[in-house]
Amino acid sequence: MVSLSHASPGEDLSEQLRRLRADCARCAGLCCVALPFFATSGFPADKDAGTPCHHLDSAFRCRVHAELRQRGLTGCAVFDCFGAGQRITRDTFAGRTWCDDPDRAQDVFAAFNVARQLHEVLWYLVEALNLPAAAELHAELRRVCTRVDALVGDTPEALSATDVASVRQEVGDLLSRVSELVRDRHGRRCDHRGADLAGARLRGAPLRGATFRGAVLIAADLRDADLRTVDFLGADLRDADLRGADLSGALFLTQPQVNAARGDTATRLPAHLLRPAHWCGPGNTRHGSSGNNNQSAR
């Protein structure tokens, strides 16, 4: 895998992050096997870690993938491994799957569980490396990004033994400094870190430069809100209403967060994120420009 800390000349953020997007065609269905499921969280049924989902076929494909939302399987529709699945399958285990070598299946699952968390960290670091306002931190960000990338590329045993909490703490502190630098440029506003804002009425609110890091925004009304350069790292956006909201330049916003929220064709997203297909369905369409060229997520 090419180091994510050094982009090729002319390579934009979307292209860099392409390596951190799930590619199910190059994976062995790891998210459908390695992880535990709970029906109450929008998955097909309760299942233990290491047990294949009953919808997974022999080619490691989901039999109901095209019907996930219609079936109410939002947990599956929202999930993203940030590209860890194909990396563990193709690189760490050289294409050998948990079916090919059942004796090593638990090693595969353990490595995947750590890698998906580290790949999420890499997503944030790559994004930070592309923020001009954080230029003074780019050298430090590059060093940390290289080190985290190397952890994922280590042996399965070393990867599984990684202290993920320690890595997250270190990177989280660094990203806080990045966030402050960027938001200072636009007049830092409200600090809602860790706040419980479930169902909050924030329609049309001028929130540019605020931080919602780790906040609970479940079913919050953020319609038409100005969310430019808002820090969303770790925020829970399940069913948050983002119709007409402007999230252009939002910080540390991920595809799973966007997939879990509600939006429409007028919602403005950062250019490197995809507009979920369900945002453009019946009852979600509004007149107006999308403001970017986001494609529909699969």
Token output for 112: 């995947």
pLDDT band at 18 (very low <50, low <70, confident <90, very high): confident
Helix (H, G, I), strand (E, B) or coil at 56: strand
Q: Convert 46-64 to b/e letters by CB count within 10 Å (16 or more is b).
A: ebeeeeebebbeeebebee
**Is residue 288 within 8 Å of residue 271, measured between CB atoms?**
no
How far is Cα 16 from Cα 23, in angstroms, rounded to an integer?
Answer: 15
Q: What is the pLDDT of residues 179-233, one digit of tens each?
A: 999 999 877 678 999 999 999 999 999 999 999 999 999 999 999 999 999 999 9
Residue 99: per-residue pLDDT:
92
How far is Cα 297 from Cα 280, in angstroms, rounded to an integer?
Answer: 11
Residue 280: per-residue pLDDT:
83
Q: What is the pLDDT of residues 143-182, one digit of tens each?
A: 999 999 999 999 999 999 999 999 999 999 999 999 999 9
Region 283-292 average pLDDT: 40
Residue 7: per-residue pLDDT:
54
**Is residue 260 within 8 Å of residue 239, measured between CB atoms?**
yes
Return the minimum-mean-pLDDT range out of 112-116, 206-210, 220-224, 283-287: 283-287
Over the chain, what is the mean pLDDT?
A: 90
How far is Cα 14 from Cα 193, in angstroms, rounded to an integer?
Answer: 27
Region 265-278 average pLDDT: 94
Residue 119: per-residue pLDDT:
97
Residue 199: per-residue pLDDT:
98
Residue 86: per-residue pLDDT:
95
pLDDT at 26 over 80: yes
Whole-prediction pTM value?
0.88
Residue 292: per-residue pLDDT:
41
At a CB cut-off of 8 Å and minimum separation 6, what does 122 contact?
Answer: 4, 20, 82, 145, 148, 149, 152
**Is residue 90 within 8 Å of residue 111, measured between CB atoms?**
no
Residue 291: per-residue pLDDT:
38
How far is Cα 41 from Cα 34, in angstroms, rounded to an integer?
Answer: 16
Residue 2: per-residue pLDDT:
43
Residue 290: per-residue pLDDT:
35
pLDDT at 10 over 80: no
Distance linking the first and last C-alpha atoms of the chain: 24
